[in-house]
Every structure is written in structure tokens, then in C-alpha cells.
Amino acid sequence: MYIKYLNQRLNKRATGSLSFQNAFFYLQWDDDDAVYDFNDAISSNLVTLKKTRRRSKLHPHKQRSKYICRPELTVEAGNHFVWEYIPGHGTLNVPSDAAILHHYRVCEFGGDDCIKTASTADKTAYRYKDILTNAVRLQYDRLKSKCHLADLKMPPTRVFNKLINLLKPGQR
């Protein structure tokens, strides 16, 4: 869908960057129950498949967004947007129904208050489960002995995980 959008909207001569809104998937939220049904340790340990709850509200462009820029058109680049382009160029704000960036992180400002915000389940990453798992498995197998990587473990059982979550503060 995103490639189709770009082909229709992108002015290749004037577009100096593409801006994407961030969707925050806080690591403090519980893991998706589906990881207990996976039959391999790679899939069940991928954060992109474990953490499927995200903040409902996306930050507007230029606030916590990320971008891809054309460096030859950029004068000054910032963290969340390009500050200045060469004359005649600018940003294309990609709408959230075309693409968003998945940002997996702990709550900002310390603590766990972020998990009290409105959230929604977003399993978009599951579309790429097989290809992502295979790519990670290839690299893990290639680097395991060279980097002395530990064996990956399957997650605890669903029942055990529910008990652990009951013991967490604020989860009762």
C-alpha cells in the first residue's frame, strides 16, 4: 500500500524527505498471548511479535516523528524533521493510513505511567512474521558461535505468565 501511495503522491523533484509518525509500543505492556502458540524460540522472542499493544494516539508530524531524507537536498537535519532544505524542496508527510513507524521503547520520563494511556492492539508486524523470523534465524545461526550467543528459550507457559502478571504492582 505504501509503495502505491508514494507512486501517486511523490513529487520526486520537490520532495526532500518523507516524514513518518511514530507509534509507541511500550515494553511495559503485556506480551501478546499469541507468542505462547509459536513453535520456535526465534518468533517467540521477537519484540515486534511480542509487543502488539501500542498507544492509540500518534504524535503529529515534527513531534517524535522520524524521516528519510535525501541528503543532497538537505541543509540542516534534526532528530524529528529536516530543519532546512535547499530552496524549492520540502517534506512529504506520509499519512498514518499509508505507513507508520513502530517504535518499541520503555515509558518516557521513568516510571510506568505511559501504560495508562489509551491503547490499541496492532498486529501489523505479523504480516512479516515468517520472513522476519527466517532473516533473524539466519543471522542468529551465523553469529551464534562467533559471538558466544546463548540458546534462545521458549517463553514461559501462558498460565505461568498470567500468574507473573498478577504479581506485578498495579496489575491486580
Is residue 11 domain-resident? yes
- Of the pLDDT bands very low, low, confident and very high (cuts 50, 70, 90), residue 36 is confident
Is residue 35 domain-resident? yes
Over residues 64-95, the pLDDT tens digits come to: 999 999 999 999 999 999 999 999 999 999 99
Residue 172 reports pLDDT greater than 50: no
For the full predicted model, state whether its pTM sits above 0.85.
no
Cα→Cα distances 53→49, 58, 121, 138, 161, Å: 10, 13, 4, 27, 17
Q: Which long-range contacts (CB under 8 A, 24 or more apart) does 7-15 make?
A: 9/92, 10/92, 11/92, 14/88, 14/89, 14/90, 15/70, 15/89, 15/90, 15/91, 15/92
Task: Show Cβ contacts of residue 5 under 8 Å, excluding neighbours closer than 6 positions.
Answer: 94, 95, 98, 99
Q: Side-chain half-sphere of 62: how many Cα atoms within 13 Å?
A: 5
Measured between alpha carbons, how far is 29 from 58 in angstroms, rounded to an integer? 17
Measured between alpha carbons, how far is 101 from 45 in angstroms, rounded to an integer? 20
Is residue 54 domain-resident? yes
Measured between alpha carbons, how far is 100 from 125 in angstroms, rounded to an integer? 11
Report residue 17 as a C-alpha cell: 524527505
Give the mean pLDDT of 146-171.
75
Q: Can you give the residue range of the structural domain that contains 70?
A: 2-167
Is residue 172 domain-resident? no
Q: How many domains does the chain have?
A: 1
Share of the chain above pLDDT 70, in %: 84
Is residue 51 domain-resident? yes
Is residue 96 domain-resident? yes
pLDDT at 109: 84
Is residue 38 domain-resident? yes
Q: Looking at per-residue confidence, does 2 or 128 come out higher?
A: 128
